[in-house]
Amino acid sequence: MEPIKRKVYLIKNRTQTLDWSTSVNNVNKLQLTLFDVKNKYNPANLQPTDSRDNILTSAAEIEQALSSSTGKNCLELMGTYEAVTQSFKIWVAATFDICFANSLRDIGDKMKISVEGSICAKNKIRFDGLADIQSQQNTVTNLQVGPIISGNPTLYPNYILKSITYSVLLEWEEYAAIKNHCGVLENMLTNKLLSDCCILTAEKREVKCHKNVLAANSDVFYTMMTSGLQESQTNRIELTDVTEEVVNNFLAYLYGVEIKTSKVTDKMAFELLRLAHKYNVSPLEKDMDRVLRKRSEESFSLNTVFGLYYFTLNIDRLSPLCKRMADILRSKPKGLLTSSAYQDLLENNPREAAMLAIKLMELGLS
């Protein structure tokens, strides 16, 4: 499944004057705010570069992330002119708090912010920053990229004393949503048309569905419904350890209804991965594996990390995900041992908990 490239304008064709009046030790300095989420952002600037419905939905999510930002999140054009050496340089500095960066990255993959435009209407510039936004610190700050332009100002008459016209773009990749565009399966699921079986959830609620759709997606479901097992006689599948919300998302996937991965929590993704593996729904397993591996460390609860590590430990095709979870656990050994998930395992299966602790120590978690 090939990713689709997306982008929206945060600012489009803005012109600002360059002010080099600040001078320290014979060095003239430039500091100009190009984009500031808190003070300079205008929702009207958020312009998708195409009119497709899904990018408009993403644009709304980006607007929400921008408007809810509380920390310092800005792009600044910086520059210096040294009178002694008669030289100058111009670059872009970016400051973003990690919560804001994470909220953007959760919208899509390979999220980056770009600045493009021209200085004095003729000298083209291009800055690509925060490519694959990620940081282990609380703040991504003073990220200096450049210089965009440098040299001797005498070669550029009035060049550095004029203006800049620029646009700020947010660019990312997303995978096409799974959707049956004729709407038949979605109509069957939504309106329960001629439903002939149901799934019993943890809340003891019955979610109606269709045996043929389940069987077409899963050979496990096919066997359950055709081999004389209890489910084929009662037309009811008991998933009493799975919540109704997870069941509804699982069915949505089986019926080809769109699921936005940005709305799927780490816990939900884990539950869907577990169901996909149990019932051999390979496409869903691969999609949830990809979603979980691309999530930031900060977006996981420790209980989910523990559960994912324990679940994937002996599944070869999920070994990259297992390694990712082990890396997170390696950085938080004390939190692991006091987590409710580990304490539950210790109470219900002490031997298994002890074996797991030994395994984790071998990975350097002690």
pLDDT tens for each residue of 205-219: 999 999 999 999 999
In this prediction, what percent of the chain has a pLDDT beyond 70?
70
Residues in the chain: 366
**Contact (CB, 8 A) for 283 and 305:** no
How many domains would you assign to the chain? Answer: 3
Both 40 and 127 in a single domain? yes
For residue range 241-289, list pLDDT tens digits in order: 999 999 999 999 999 888 888 788 999 999 999 999 999 999 999 999 9
pTM over 0.75: no
Both 33 and 125 in a single domain? yes
Both 210 and 325 in a single domain? no
Domain end call among 256, 286, 316: 286
Which one, of 130, 96, 101, 104, lies nearest residue 115 by Cα? 130
Both 190 and 252 in a single domain? yes
**Contact (CB, 8 A) for 92 and 289:** no
Q: Indicate the range of 171-175, 308-312, 357-361 predicted with least confidence.
A: 357-361
Nearby residues of 105 by Cβ (< 8 Å), 6 or more positions away: 111, 133, 134, 296
Both 43 and 106 in a single domain? yes
Domain-located, residue 34? yes
Domain end call among 160, 175, 190: 175
Domain hosting residue 143, numbered range: 3-175
